[in-house]
Structure 1
Amino acid sequence: MSLESLKVQIIKKAWEDPAFKSSLLSDPKQAIKAAFGIDVPSEIDLKVVEESSSQYYLVLPPNPADAGGGSATVNTVW
């Protein structure tokens, strides 16, 4: 499963399941593990925020040139 596919599934579940959404906002790693069986590695700091009609977030991914890999594509989940 790709990271993008997982993101879509997480968002869809959060829209459909208020208890999951609440858990995702308070403890995202545990919520993802409980719902999808995926362990997010401890070295990854995962933050979940919710946009509103008047508040938006722009997320800048790491610059591939800084990572040394030269590729911005992530095809695997953690």
Structure 2
Amino acid sequence: MSTEETLKQQIIEKAWQDSTFKQQLLSDPKAAIEGAFGVKVPDGIKLNVVEESSTDFYLVLPQNPADALDGEDDVNAAW
């Protein structure tokens, strides 16, 4: 599992266990992540957090790799 996926899983698990964190994550995700995990999401990254329910589901369509930078290291690629 990549570092990014590990962090995402940790964020999800914390939100399941900590209702205060979950509410902050939904309202101000950058501050919640920085406060809980010490990870600063770069200013150029927009981060949206939504919660699924038993009737509302979300499909995230990732950026097409062909549209990504050609071999350049992008500091914001994995925030």
- Residue 7 of structure 2 corresponds to which residue in structure 1? 6
Q: Which runs of 5+ in 2 are unaligned?
A: 72-76
1:53 maps to amino acid: S
Larger relative contact order, structure 1 or 2 (CA cutoff 8 Å, min sep 6): 1
Q: Which runs of 5+ in 1 are unaligned?
A: 71-75
Q: How does 1:21-40 map to 2 (within 5 A)?
A: 21-40=22-41
Equivalent residue pairs, number:
73
Runs (4 or more) in structure 1 with deviation over 4 Å come to none
Q: Normalising to structure 1: TM-score of the pair? A: 0.87
Q: How does 1:50-61 map to 2 (within 5 A)?
A: 50-61=51-62
2: distance between equivalents of 1:48 and 1:33?
14
- Residue 44 of structure 1 corresponds to which residue in structure 2? 45
Q: Normalising to structure 2: TM-score of the pair? A: 0.86
Quote the RMSD (CA, aligned, Å): 1.7
Identity percentage of aligned residues: 62
